[in-house]
Homo-oligomer: A and B are copies of this chain.
Amino acid sequence: MEYTTVNYVAKKPKLNKPILIEGLPGIGNVGKIAVEHLIEETKAKKFAEIYSKDFPPQVFINPDGTVKLVNNEFYYLKAKKKTDRDIVLLTGDYQGLSSQGQYELVETILDICKELGVKEIFTLGGYGLGHEIESPKVLCATTDKSLVKVMKKHGAVFKKNEPGGGIVGASGLLLGIGKIRGFQGTCFMGETPGYLVDPKSAKAVLKILMKATNLKVGLSALEKKAKEIEHIAHQLREIEGMSKEKTEELKYIG
């Protein structure tokens, strides 16, 4: 096992002008939720796994009692029309723990992209605001000026100097290293409070992604999850509200 290892679990697919859509864990888990939704809705097929010595030394327990080494996973999806572009999907349990691990992981992902003929990449993530938000906007950054225009047309938002801290992690690196290696790339970042997993933000991201690609999937499952999370958020706010009152009371007394 190398520092980063690729394990093909099915025959390497032959794809027509494929694009990569990446969604790994991050703020609000927006990207991961979005890509997992795509995989479930389209019944995309897993063909490869990536292991990294920079992932935590951990296995998860499958529902049947067997173990699974933490990893990242590649899926593919053939377009319904032959002329449409095929799709490669990437999600996983973790991003690398260290800087070096993150760089190595992204380089491995780009190596696989090159082998598959992927030339365009979409990375999905969240943009943490730290406060509640009614209808999340989707911020955007790209590798090429020409893509900025295109994505604006699809409804993506470009705010000067936002995110001020740039993009940290695989969603950023895939574009940054990708650009140097000749890939075109777009990052969609759904606004999110960032406290909880955020299916609402994932939905907003997928809406724009569908405009930017030939992908079409239903979003009702996400909407249902979004309502569940909203319910939990409401409960948490109530508990918090109570404790705030208590604090106020204490301050008054003290």
Contact = CB atoms under 8 A, between A and B. Distances in A.
Interface stretch (A11-19, A29-37, A102-110, A232-240): A102-110
Nearest to A107: B1
A1 B187 CA distance: 22
Contacts of A141: 59, 61, 65-67
A179 interface: yes
Interface residues of A, number: 58
Interface in A45-70: 51, 53-61, 63-70
A112 B250 CA distance: 62
Contacts of A145: 64-66
A180 interface: yes
A163 interface: yes
Interface of A: 1, 3, 7, 51, 53-61, 63-70, 96-97, 99-104, 106-107, 140-145, 148, 158, 160-163, 165-170, 172-173, 175-177, 179-180, 185, 187
